[in-house]
């Protein structure tokens, strides 16, 4: 559930406040879906000198249900860690941040991404991934789009392979209407019913 700080309890913990979640077909790859989750509401970049960060003690998760039973089939978990480069100052940056590894960026954050299936199997997709700095303004983060847009994108493993299909009639499914989808070392069974309904299972096909 998303809330824009109107709920009394979550308003006391803004770094854990999930304000919006978006899911849509990716325009550049229509065979994939894009998931976006927003946290930390009602803050603006010029609200420094201590700019908003992800919480080191918060477990951020996006749950994906493919079966319509309100239980996650896949969960993507994000954990963050803040590193302070200069403990003698509380400032977010001590000069212009001109690169993702700029020594002027005093409080960089790094994160891990873990994929968890319904059966509880956890696969770490990435560790030590850099969070881009806050877009403070031209004095602190000059040329933000040109410097940090690409640096904020991390390629992770997980392009699916279709495997284990015994396709007798050329329809892309096996003779039972099932597709075995393999992502890294994990396999899921996708069942396509005659009425078009699709079910996903962690069990082998």
- Give the pLDDT band (50/70/90) at residue 186: low
pLDDT digits (tens, 9 = 90+) for 94-139: 999 999 999 999 999 999 999 999 888 899 999 999 999 988 888 9
- Give the pLDDT band (50/70/90) at residue 187: low
Domain ranges for the chain, please list them. 43-157, 162-201
The rounded percent of the chain whose pLDDT value lies above 90 is 33
**pLDDT at position 89 over 80:** yes
pLDDT digits (tens, 9 = 90+) for 3-34: 556 678 888 888 888 888 889 998 888 888 88
Angle (nearest 5°) at CA 16 between 12 and 21? 125
Burial class (CB in 10 A: 0-12, 13-18, 19+), 161: exposed
Distance CA 92, CA 79 (A): 20
Distance CA 74, CA 62 (A): 8
Higher pLDDT pick, 170 / 124: 124
**pLDDT at position 84 over 90:** yes
Number of neighbouring beta carbons within 10 Å of residue 105: 25
Average pLDDT, the chain: 78
Which tokens sit at 59? 């477990």
């Amino acid at each position: 559930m998303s809330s824009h700080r109107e709920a009394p309890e979550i308003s006391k913990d803004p770094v854990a406040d999930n304000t919006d979640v978006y899911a849509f077909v990716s325009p550049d790859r229509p065979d994939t879906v894009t998931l976006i989750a927003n946290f930390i509401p009602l803050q603006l970049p010029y609200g420094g000198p201590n700019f908003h960060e992800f919480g080191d003690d918060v477990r951020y998760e996006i749950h994906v249900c493919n079966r319509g039973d309100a239980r996650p089939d896949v969960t993507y978990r994000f954990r963050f860690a803040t590193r302070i480069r200069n403990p003698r100052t509380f400032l977010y940056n001590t000069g212009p941040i001109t690169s993702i590894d700029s020594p002027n960026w005093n409080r960089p954050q790094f994160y891990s991404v873990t994929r968890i299936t319904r059966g509880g199997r956890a696969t770490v997709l990435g560790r030590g991934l850099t969070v881009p700095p806050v877009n403070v303004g031209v004095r602190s983060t000059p040329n933000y789009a040109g410097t940090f847009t690409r640096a904020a994108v991390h390629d992770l493993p997980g392009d699916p392979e279709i495997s284990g299909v015994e396709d007798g009639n050329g329809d892309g499914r096996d003779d039972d209407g099932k597709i075995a989808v393999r992502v890294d070392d994990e396999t899921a069974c996708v069942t396509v019913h005659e009425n078009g309904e699709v079910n996903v299972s962690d069990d082998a096909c």
